[in-house]
Structure 1
Amino acid sequence: MPEGKIIKALSGFYYVISDNETVQCRGRGVFRKNNVTPLVGDEVVFQAENNKEGYILEVKERKNELVRPPIANVDQAILVFSAVEPSFSTSLLDRFLVLVEFNHIKPIICITKMDLTNDEQNEEIQTYANEYRNAGYQVLLTSSETEEGIKELSPFLDGEISVFAGQSGVGKSSLLNALRPDLELKTNDISSHLGRGKHTTRHVELISVGNGLVADTPGFSSLEFTDIELEDLNFCFPEFQQHSEDCKFRGCLHLAEPKCAVKIAVDNHEIPLYRYEHYKTFLQEIKDRKPRY
């Protein structure tokens, strides 16, 4: 039986790419019975008489899946944040980073609109970029206007399934247009091509950009830590992990425990204070979460 990848799901049809051919498929009734919903990004086994009529027989095991947007097997998230207009927010970025790390998706931080910064703003962004690099993240500084950083970003997409995520107005559409001009995505207002236009259908689609696939989706619509437990949060801050092995207590939450290596690293300016403050805020948010029954 042939195998392929779902690149679009729309109105009960799944569009499966296999050997550079796209086949329109329906899901077998057995999926509904077993409570399995095929997702864009799924590797599937299917059968088809022609490229208009096929049936998905099996969904292969997923390495990850997101609920909003509904997509599976994402390799990386390009977290798009503007240097200015709107102002760069470490708090929001750290929230995105935690969600991405928790879902075992590789994050790449992409700071846009560098052409709009003055000298002071540019210096501040360079400092933040270096601090996030020291924490273990890949950081790119870009401008869709001057094309700064676009050539550096392109190779990261090769052979990967990527999701572009970030608040509206930061330049996600402009960035995708710079990477692939024929897309002609609308900027400023929310792009209809990205599933949030005048039509109400919000579907996810994988589009080819360079030698990779980009999820054509509005990105994360929920930024709540609904599935993250207290003990998980430490693993979503990579620079904490480097130090937490030296904490006196196993399972240290880095709050009031004595001889906490993470707090020592903060005091020694090895971990930026704002990262630690965000960690404490997120920890409290998880503690305050209403229990699920």
Structure 2
Amino acid sequence: MPEGKIIKALSGFYYVLDNEKVIQCRGRGVFRKNKITPLVGDYVVYQADNDREGYLMEIKERTNELVRPPIANVDQAILVFSAKEPDFSTSLLDRFLVIVESNNIEPIICISKLDLLTEEEKADLEKKARDYEIIGYQVVRTSAKTDAGMKDILPLLKGMTSVVAGQSGVGKSSMLNALNTNLQLKTSMISSHLGRGKHTTRHVELIEVADGLVADTPGFSALELDSLEADQLGDCFPEMVKRSSECKFRGCLHLNEPKCAVKAAVEGGEIPDYRYEHYLQFLQEIKDRKPRY
């Protein structure tokens, strides 16, 4: 049977890319019975009587998957956060990073709308960007309006399946339009009343950009840490992983334990205070989570 990759899911149909052709498929009833939902990015086996319509027969094993946005087999996540409108949020960025790290997906931080900042605001944002680069993250500074930084993104996409994610209104679609002028993805202005963008992308779809596949995903402003346990959270902070072996106690949660190398690094200014504060917030959130049965 032929095989391909789901590049779009819409209204109960799954569009499977097989070499140069795209087959519109429906899922088999057995998927619904077994509570299996095909995802964009899935490698599948399908059956088709013609070149246009068919049925999904099998979903291959996934290397990873995200719940929001719903996508599988992602190589990297480009996390787009605007410098302004909406304002840059380290708390939301760290939440995204934790989700991405917990799924073993390589994150790339993209700061958009730099053209909206004053020189003083740029200096403050640059300090935060440097914090993340010191941790080991790749940070790309961009402006779709001026094309700044766009040439730095192109080589990162080649041959990769990338998810572009971030809060609504940060400029994800604008960035992709700038990278591929044939896309003409819908964009929207920020609501001055709500302080956030309207949802402009209604479904997940893999599109070809710079010889790679990129998912433009619906914007969202909240992520639940429902797949992580307390003892796993520290593994999603690279600067903590680097130092945890020096903690006195194995399985140290970096709270009140004596001789904690992570807390020492925070007190010594080696780990930004806000990163540690976010870690504590996330840890409490996980602890307060109702148990699942």
Q: Return the TM-score normalized by structure 2.
A: 0.92
Deviations 1:191-232 (A, max 9, x none): 88621xxxxxxx321111111112132145641111211011
How far does residue 150 in structure 1 lie from its aligned partner after superposition?
0.3
Q: Give the partner amino acid of 2:272.
A: P
Deviation at 1:18, TM superposition (A): 0.8
Q: Distance in 2 between matches of 1:98 and 1:45?
A: 32
Report the equivalent of 2:13. 13
Deviations 1:49-93 (A, max 9, x none): 322232222110001122222221122211111112222111111
Match of 1:67 in 2: 67
| 2:224 equivalent in structure 1 | 224
Matched, 1:118 2:118: yes
Q: Which residue of 1 aligns with 2:169?
A: 169
Taking the aligned partners of 1:102 and 1:285, their CA distance within structure 2 comes to 16
Shift of 1:237: 0.3
Other-structure match for 2:249: 249
Is the Cα–Cα contact under 8 Å of residues 28 and 56 in structure 1 kept in the other structure? yes
Q: Aligned pair in 2 of structure 1 residues 191, 223: CA closer, same or farther (>3 Å)?
A: closer
SS of structure 2 residue aligned to 1:183:
coil
Residues 107-163 of structure 1, C-alpha deviation per residue, up to 9 Å, x if partnerless?
110011112222211111221111101111110011111111001011111122222
Q: Aligned to 1:85, what secondary structure does the other structure show?
A: coil
Structure-1 residue corresponding to 2:193: none
SS in 2 for 1:181: coil
1:199 — aligned with what? none
User: Residues of 1 paired with 2:241 and 2:61: CA distance?
Assistant: 28
Residue 68 of structure 1 contacts residue 219 of structure 1 at CA under 8 Å; is this kept in 2? no
Amino acid at match of 1:252: C
Match of 2:27, as an amino acid? G
What does the per-residue CA deviation read over 1:169-197, in whole Å, with 9 as the maximum and x for residues that have no partner? 222222111111222223334688621xx
Secondary structure of the structure 2 residue equivalent to 1:241: helix
Asked if 1:194 corresponds to 2:201, the answer is yes
Runs of 5+ consecutive residues of structure 1 not aligned to the other structure: 196-202
The equivalent residue for 2:48 is: 48
Shift in alpha-carbon separation, 1:213–1:220, aligned structure 2, 3 A: farther
Q: How big is the alpha-carbon RMSD for the aligned residues of Structure 1 and Structure 2?
A: 1.7
| Residue pair 1:2, 1:46 contacting (<8 A) in 2 also | yes
- For 2:201, give the aligned amino acid: L
* Residue identity in the other structure for 2:279: Y
Scaled by the length of structure 1, what TM-score is found? 0.92
In the alignment, does 2:271 pair up with 1:264?
A: no
CA distance in 1, matches of 2:69, 2:141: 26
The percentage of counterpart residues that share the same residue type is 66
Q: For residue 107 of structure 1, what is the amino acid of its counterpart?
A: P
Match for residue 31 of structure 1?
Answer: 31
1:69·1:221 contact (CA, 8 Å) conserved in 2?
A: no
Is the alpha carbon distance of 1:191 and 1:90 closer, same or farther for their aligned partners in structure 2, counting shifts above 3 Å?
closer
* Residue number in structure 1 paired with 2:194: none
Structure 2 unmatched runs, 5+ = 190-196
Alpha-carbon distance in 1 for matches of 2:210, 2:200? 18
CA distance in structure 1 between the aligned counterparts of 2:58 and 2:221, rounded to whole angstroms: 29
Q: Deviations over 1:243-281 (max 9, x none)?
A: 001101000000110110111111221111111111111
Change in 2 beyond 3 A, CA 1:17/1:105: same
Aligned to 1:83: 83
SS at match of 2:104: coil
CA spacing shift, 1:264–1:179, aligned 2, 3 Å: same
Distance 2:103 2:184 in 1: 31
